[in-house]
Amino acid sequence: MAVSYGFFDGDTEYGQEEFNQYFDAFLRSGVKVEDADENGLYQMGLKVTTDGKNNITVASGMAILQGFWLKNSASMNFTLDRAQGTYARVVVRLDKSEGNLAILVKYSSNGFPELTRDEFVYEISLARATAMIRDNAIGPFQVYDERTDLDLCGSIRPRSVTEYDTIIKSEQDRWEAWFEEQQSGAKAQREIAIQATQPKEQVAGAIWFRTY
């Protein structure tokens, strides 16, 4: 069937595909921005921090990937392993074939690991890490936050914001053109005033929108 729809009570059954295509239609993949703290500041969840050695911690938080969600309710600890590579990325991975989401570390010995984004797997990057060279020896990993990079992660945000703004701007332009025409154009029908005080010398049929 070419047309599908939902959701209704009754005998129709809905599954994973229907629910996730619904959420994916208006939410872009990313990390949730938490409520403002006592200082009025907003912070993204799932922040990756390091102890200056090879131990990292992923803070609590939530992410949505293609309509699927992951919630980390407690800090997660990892020990970065230089034997697996001197470049690493901490990612949230959606695996549709396995039916799960996970936070994990990817390694590489030749540049930062690429994110996998194909039919079954989709990843966002929380942070990248590289082992530093000190005194001609490989030292501990240094971590760089990547959550604000829209190509790699970004926050959970609505889709089509640009398109929405374009539509609103178009409607505003049409309104202003119509208003100007009604005021002084050749097709003017009524004099329209939008102001706080009553216009002077109004003619019969004029319209006054009072502002406060």
**Domains of the chain: which residue ranges?**
16-158, 161-210
Q: Give 102-160 pLDDT, tens digit per residue.
A: 999 999 999 999 999 999 999 999 999 998 876 666 778 889 999 999 899 999 888 76
Instruction: Say what the pLDDT of residue 211 is.
Output: 66
Provide the phi-psi class of 174: left if phi over 0, else alpha when psi is between -120 and 50, else beta: alpha
In Å, what is the CA distance from 51 to each residue of 18, 57, 200?
43, 8, 72
Specify whether the CB–CB gap between 23 and 37 falls below 8 A: no
In the predicted model, what is the mean pLDDT of residues 18-27? 82
Phi, psi of 83 (to 5 degrees): -65, -25
Specify whether the CB–CB gap between 45 and 39 falls below 8 A: no
**Number of alpha carbons in the 13 Å side-chain half-sphere of residue 84:** 13
pLDDT band at residue 47 under the 50/70/90 scheme = very high
Residue 62 CB neighbours (<10 A):
17
CATH topology of domain 16-158: Triple-stranded beta-helix (2.60.520)
Positive or negative torsion for Cα 149, 150, 152, 153? positive
pLDDT band at residue 4 under the 50/70/90 scheme = low
Looking only at Cα atoms, what is the longest distance across the chain? Answer: 89
Q: How far apart are the first and last CA of the chain?
A: 54
Q: Give 151-208 pLDDT, tens digit per residue.
A: 999 998 887 666 656 666 777 777 777 767 766 655 556 666 667 677 776 666 666 6
CA 28 to CA 7: how far, in whole Å? 21
Q: Which of 133 and 22 is assigned the larger pLDDT? A: 22
